[in-house]
Amino acid sequence: MTSRTARFYDHLDADIKAILLTQIRNLWTHHSTSLEGNSLTLGETDFILQEGLTIQGKPLKDHNEVYGHAKAIERIYGLLNTAKTIDKKDLFQLHETALTERIMDIDQPVGPWKVQSNYTTYVDENNKQVWREYPAPRHIDALMTQWLERLNGYFTPTLDRQAAAEAYADLHLSFVTIHPFFDGNGRLARLLANLPVLDAGLPPIVVPQEDRYRYKRCLSDYQNTVDDLSDLSDLSQLPDNQQKQQFVNLCQSYWAQTIELLDQANAMQQKRHPS
């Protein structure tokens, strides 16, 4: 499925590459788990993953989440190295890897799609709190089949930086708007939407946890432009509009953190091999 373009780290010496990939794993894991309530800092996340030790007084759940996310990143790189089309089974496996809290509850499946409706709430323009229901469970399989087709369609050798940001934003926005799982939708969207980005030879886009208000507001503003999300049964019903463009712009700005890490690694490489 992948286009076999060089990866963003391919030109680096093995030791420099290893450090860069560790830094990116820490950053991606910290920000994505923090966005959904994990209390561990970037430093603690790095310590846990590097040393295999725990942080006194911090929840076991938070430690497990960090491990789950780091393993899920390895799966993402692994998917890039397979020649096959990404399918439903890959998504279920990724969900099982990232969601380390196994509750034996048939209404909250880890692996398969959600079986119960899920909701969120937002404050509208009249300062009123309103319910929003995500697409109904009966529509999920068809919607995600279309979403996977879209994902696989983005693996082309011609994806430049602008097109990669657009692909990331499109996949991320549609995934979290479908909300196919009972939990873990944000983390999985932030992992999976990076597949075409990495395949295009670019470092991943990482949503900074400090920007959570703007990030979530942007998702909500976009979803406000769809009449009844619970009834969504076809991806083509999701509009390409100004709100979506705003999300594209936001995602582009979120590249700064990993680009900075890549620049630092390039500087180390340059110092070792002055040309």
Structure tokens at 27: 């950053």
Among 25, 69, 139, 187, binds ligand ADP (CB under 6 A): 187
Among 176, 192, 235, 265, binds ligand ADP (CB under 6 A): 176
135 near ligand ADP, rule: CB under 6 A: no
Minimum CB distance to ligand ADP smaller for 56 or for 131: 131
Could you give the CA distance from residue 218 to residue 9 in angstroms, rounded to a whole number?
A: 31
Listed ranges 69-77, 87-95, 215-223, 261-269: which one lies at the site for ligand ADP (CB under 6 A)? 215-223
Among 167, 219, 238, 251, binds ligand ADP (CB under 6 A): 219
- Residue 168 has a CB neighbour count (10 Å cut-off) of 29
Q: Which of residues 24-83 bind ligand ADP (CB under 6 A)?
A: 35-36
Which residue number, 20 or 238, has a Cβ lying nearer to ligand ADP?
Answer: 238
Which stretches of the chain are DSSP H helices? 14-35, 42-51, 60-80, 88-98, 137-153, 161-178, 185-192, 195-199, 212-223, 242-253, 256-272
- Cα(180)–Cα(183) distance, integer angstroms: 9
DSSP-based three-state secondary structure for 138: helix
CB of 183 vs ligand ADP, minimal distance in Å? 5
Q: What is the length of the chain?
A: 275
Q: Does 183 bind Mg ion (CB under 5 A)?
A: yes
d(CA 236, CA 234): 5
Among all residues, whose Cβ is closest to ligand ADP?
Answer: 186
Scanning 42-50, 144-152, 186-194, 230-238 for contacts with ligand ADP by CB under 6 A, the matching segment is: 186-194
Number of residues forming the site for ligand ADP (CB under 6 A): 15
Query: Does 229 engage in binding with ligand ADP (CB under 6 A)?
Result: no
132 burial level (CB within 10 Å; 0-12, 13-18, 19+): middle
List of residues contacting ligand ADP (CB under 6 A):
35-36, 120, 122, 176, 183-187, 189, 216, 219-220, 223
